[in-house]
Amino acid sequence: MIGRTAAVTAALLAATSAAEAKDGFYLDAKGGATFLQNVEGAAGGFIGDADTEIGFLGSAAAGYAVDIPQTGGTFRGEIEVAYRENDVEELDLSGFILDVDGDITSKAIMFNAFYDFDLGSGWRPYFGAGLGATEVEMDFETNVAQVVGDKETVVAYQVSVGFGYQIVESVTISLGYRFFGTDEIELEDSLGNRFETDYNAHTIEGGIRIVF
């Protein structure tokens, strides 16, 4: 009986330990599916609207996590590099449809802050926001000529929500949603016409975080 009680107590202690967040330096990696919103602009008397495919996100971050005893949650600050890519297969120029081949990419560096809520278990909902910069490049062409081949670096921002599950004290997996947007982007088409557009991306992502 004593042995059985000791075993149960040990199991409960192990479960409690697994649910407790850990302070310290961490590395985080994420990947996901990215959807671009309303990629359009006006140039040379035409209004262009790019039809983009579902793309991908890959990111890596390094940061530091600190427990907040008053709330039981965890604050995290990090620096992140992220890459997004979406293929473009069609371009609508004021009703004229062009078949094109190319992509729209984003290479970003972001400074992020997160708060992980403590539910008293391994499940930890989170909310985050970030500010930084990104290089957005549009590069696509028809079968006879290039349409756009230009890039610009602009201010970027993002917000994210989701939840994590703490597998063990130092390892958490996550699933969430992220919105990523930029200041207005000014680019030049192959004929030298300047145009302005926006880069807004919606991402469903999964990740893993390891605290050291």
Q: Give the CA distances from residue 133 to residues 36, 113, 154, 182, 192, in Å, rounded to whole numbers and listed in that order.
A: 18, 15, 6, 8, 25
Beta-bridged to residue 177, according to DSSP, are 161, 204
Q: Tell me the pLDDT tens digit for each residue of 106-142.
A: 999 999 999 999 888 889 999 999 999 999 998 888 8
What is the architecture of the domain spanning 2-211?
A: Beta Barrel (2.40)
Q: Is the pLDDT of residue 163 over 90?
A: yes
Residue 77's nearest CA partner among 143, 141, 23 is 23
| pLDDT score of 4 | 53
Q: Strands 46-52 and 185-188, how do they pair?
A: unpaired
According to DSSP, residue 159 is labeled E
Residue 12: the pLDDT is 41
Mean pLDDT, residues 166-180: 95
* Sign of the alpha-carbon dihedral angle for 33, 124, 65, 73: positive
Do the bridges between strand 123-141 and strand 194-197 make them parallel or antiparallel, or are there none, so unpaired? Answer: unpaired
The gap from C-alpha 99 to its chain's centroid, in whole angstroms, comes to 29
Q: Is residue 152 within 8 Å of 183, Cβ to Cβ?
A: no
Q: What is the mean predicted confidence (pLDDT) over 196-205? A: 93
**Residue type (1 letter), 188:** E
| pLDDT tens, residue by residue, 8-31 | 444 444 444 444 567 899 999 999
The pTM score is: 0.84
Residues 6+ apart with CB under 8 A from 155: 131, 132, 133, 182, 183
pLDDT band at 212 (very low <50, low <70, confident <90, very high): very high
Asked whether residue 67 carries a pLDDT value surpassing 60, the answer given is yes
pLDDT at 189 over 50: yes
